[in-house]
């Protein structure tokens, strides 16, 4: 019987790792003010769930997304602006949490590189075609 105890503990480990704590109260409850709820929903659709990685926190059923939704609603109801909440989320979870990345510095170069390469290749191709004619 003692041989099976470690095996049983290993099999139940994933259950304990899922973070099945209580869902925050504001996670699935809409704000009373429809305009504030609309603001919160717009913001929630632009923030990525860090657990699901492909869904917004508005669409995800993950417990982490519920926590993030509750945080957004609490801050909106407290009078915070969506831009400030987005900045807070990015500071807390990293730039990856935003579906709308900032175009500054190295990111700007990263986004512009394909366009620069396309223009350079068109310019080179134009030069090659001119020589042949």
- Over residues 34-88, the pLDDT tens digits come to 999 999 999 999 999 988 878 999 998 888 899 999 999 999 999 999 999 999 9
Cα–Cα distances (Å) from 104 to 18, 48, 112, in that order, read: 36, 20, 11
Q: Which of 37, 36, 40, 55 is nearest to 97 (CA)?
A: 55
Quote the pTM value: 0.63
Tell me, yes or no, whether 27 and 62 share the same domain.
Answer: yes
- Over residues 99-128, the pLDDT tens digits come to 877 666 677 787 788 999 999 999 999 988
pLDDT, greater one: 15 or 92: 92
Tell me, yes or no, whether 70 and 118 share the same domain.
Answer: no
Tell me, yes or no, whether 29 and 82 share the same domain.
Answer: yes
Considering its fold, how many domains does the chain have in total? 2
Residue 92 belongs to a domain? yes
Residue 48 belongs to a domain? yes
Q: What gap in Å lies between CA 37 and CA 31, rounded to an integer?
A: 5
Tell me, yes or no, whether 57 and 95 share the same domain.
Answer: yes
pLDDT at 10 over 80: no
Residue 3 belongs to a domain? no
């Amino acid at each position: 019987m003692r041989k099976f105890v470690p095996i049983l503990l290993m099999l139940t480990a994933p259950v304990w790792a899922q973070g099945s704590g209580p869902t925050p109260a504001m996670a699935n409850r809409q704000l009373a003010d429809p305009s504030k709820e609309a603001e919160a929903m717009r913001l929630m659709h632009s923030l990525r769930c860090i657990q699901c990685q492909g869904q917004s926190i508005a669409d995800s059923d993950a417990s982490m997304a519920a926590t993030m939704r509750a945080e957004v609603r609490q801050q909106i109801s407290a009078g915070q602006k969506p831009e400030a909440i987005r900045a807070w989320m990015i500071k807390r979870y990293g730039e990856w949490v935003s579906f709308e990345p900032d175009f500054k510095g190295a990111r700007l170069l990263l986004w512009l590189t394909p366009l620069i390469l396309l223009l350079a290749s068109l310019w080179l191709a134009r030069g090659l075609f001119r020589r042949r004619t």
